[in-house]
């Protein structure tokens, strides 16, 4: 009844563990400003009369709001039910069965999962030896494989937080004009590097953004920014009515009132820098430009269990021979609890 591919296929999963401090999913758990809450509440109430209708088929009102926000045209945007959906649309639109996608290792796992789901191959470049990105070696790796049709670059990278410089990214985009370079900028609000010019300048680049990392993971809304030809072709494989009317209306209000989120974003950045400073005496901490901090430690399994015993949930990764703990920044008091427990573990196991 089902495809043979699904017999050993594993989709994206998250553990359900009871906790008091949740720091595993890279959500922004800070309280929204009261004024923004009121705006969203009014928006939801005003949306009720329209719930009997399908949403605009391609999220045109939201695309118009994005165009105003970025000073682009609405034709430069595609909106998805999370940026995961746009990743899927890209693979569908660009890849035949014998083609491949490229990404870094480690990287956002949905690149691999999506490729496997559509019987597309994949290859990667390992950054674990120095936790740095050697752009010349990345270009060499891609150059040796003509089957690569899509290059996924998450910057800042998940799960490390490493961000690409605009100069290095430019080198990759210009080296492969016939391949689509996907600049996954989900954590861009927490980084000082701005990539929007790539969407304006290049015909082979698309930038992915999301509302999930700035306090709105629950509305499931992501979008792509690119030239009109890329967007037009992605729309050919996009299902109709893919983003519900409540999500669209909330996202529009977030864009129109984005300045009300600036303090929250800055607080997360400040908390990130504080956590890195306090942990680096005890752990190898990867420099991060995202809303999380990642430590590399051979005792990550024991540390994870220690934290769970204390009702703290972080994300654990096994990356080759390395073990990582990715810690989402949250409320300052919760961050302090995490720091205290991580340091206490080291002191107890010195």
> Can you give the residue range of the structural domain that contains 57?
34-258
Distance CA 220, CA 247 (A): 7
* 148 and 188 fall within a common domain: yes
Mean pLDDT to the nearest integer, 42-70: 98
Mean pLDDT (whole number) for 127-145: 96
Assigned domain for 7 exists: no
> Tens digit of pLDDT for each residue in 310-336?
999 999 999 999 999 999 999 999 999
* Residues 17 and 131 sit within 8 Å (Cβ to Cβ): no
pLDDT band at 302 (very low <50, low <70, confident <90, very high): very high
Domain boundary among 218, 234, 258: 258
pLDDT tier for residue 2 given thresholds of 50, 70 and 90: confident
Distance CA 202, CA 181 (A): 10
- Clarify whether residues 243 and 301 are in a common domain: no
**Please, which pLDDT band fits residue 62 given cuts at 50, 70 and 90?**
very high
Question: Is the model's pLDDT at 304 over the cut of 80?
Answer: yes
Domain boundary among 258, 281, 304: 258
The alpha carbon of 330 is separated from its chain's Cα centroid by a whole number of angstroms, namely 17
Pick from 272, 297, 270: nearest CA to 282: 297
164 located within any domain: yes
Judge whether residue 345 has pLDDT over 80.
yes
pLDDT at position 347 is: 96
What pLDDT was estimated at residue 126?
97
Give residue 183's pLDDT band: very low, low, confident or very high (50, 70, 90). very high
* DSSP bridge partners of 231: none
Residues 24 and 64 in one domain: no
Please state, as a whole number, how many other Cβ atoms lie within 10 Å of the Cβ of residue 50: 12
Same domain, 165 and 92: yes
Same domain, 149 and 270: no
- Return the CATH number at 24: 3.90.1150.10
**What confidence tens digit (pLDDT) does each residue in 184-222 have?**
999 999 999 999 999 999 999 999 999 999 999 999 999
Same domain as 195, residue 75: yes
- Final residue belonging to a domain, choices 226, 258, 290: 258
pTM: 0.96
| Domain CATH for 131 | 3.40.640.10
Listed in order, strand segments (DSSP E) in the chain are 21-23, 77-80, 100-105, 121-126, 148-154, 180-184, 205-210, 222-225, 284-286, 292-296, 312-319, 322-328
Q: Do both 153 and 269 map to the same domain?
A: no
- What's the pLDDT at 11? 83
Phi/psi region, residue 219 (left: phi>0; alpha: psi -120 to 50; beta: rest), is alpha
Same domain membership, residue 293 and residue 150: no
**Structural domain count, the chain:** 2
Instruction: Kindly state whether residue 27 falls inside one of the protein's structural domains.
Output: yes
């Amino acid at each position: 009844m089902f495809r043979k591919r699904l017999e050993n296929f594993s989709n994206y999963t998250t553990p359900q563990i009871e906790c008091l401090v949740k720091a595993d999913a890279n959500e922004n758990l800070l309280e929204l400003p009261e004024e923004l809450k009121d705006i969203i509440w009014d928006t939801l109430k005003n949306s009720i009369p329209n719930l009997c209708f399908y949403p605009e088929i391609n999220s045109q009102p939201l695309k118009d709001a994005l165009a105003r926000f970025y000073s682009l045209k609405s034709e430069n945007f595609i909106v998805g039910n999370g940026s995961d959906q746009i990743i899927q649309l890209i693979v569908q639109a660009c890849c035949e069965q014998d083609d491949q996608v490229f990404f870094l290792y480690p990287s956002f796992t949905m690149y691999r999962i999506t490729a496997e789901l559509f019987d597309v191959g994949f290859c990667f470049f390992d950054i674990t030896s120095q936790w740095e990105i050697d752009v010349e070696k990345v270009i060499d790796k891609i150059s040796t494989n003509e089957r690569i049709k899509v290059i996924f670059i998450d910057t800042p990278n998940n799960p490390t937080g490493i961000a690409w410089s605009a100069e290095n990214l430019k080198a990759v985009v210009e080296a492969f004009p016939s391949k689509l370079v996907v600049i996954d900028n989900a954590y861009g609000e927490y980084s000082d590097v701005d990539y929007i010019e790539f969407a304006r300048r290049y015909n082979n680049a698309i930038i992915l953004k999301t509302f999930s990392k700035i306090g709105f993971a629950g509305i499931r809304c992501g979008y792509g920014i690119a030239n009109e030809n890329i967007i037009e072709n992605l729309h050919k494989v996009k299902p109709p009515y893919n983003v519900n009317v409540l999500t669209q209306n909330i996202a529009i209000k977030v864009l129109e009132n984005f300045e009300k989120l600036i303090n929250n974003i800055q607080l997360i950045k400040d908390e990130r820098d504080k956590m890195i400073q306090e942990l680096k005496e005890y752990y190898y901490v990867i420099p991060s430009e995202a809303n999380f901090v990642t430590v590399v430690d051979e005792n990550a399994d024991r540390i994870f269990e220690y934290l769970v015993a204390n009702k703290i949930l972080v994300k654990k990764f096994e990356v080759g021979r390395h073990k990582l703990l990715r810690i989402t920044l949250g409320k300052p008091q919760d961050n302090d609890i995490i720091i205290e427990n991580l340091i206490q573990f080291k002191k107890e196991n010195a």
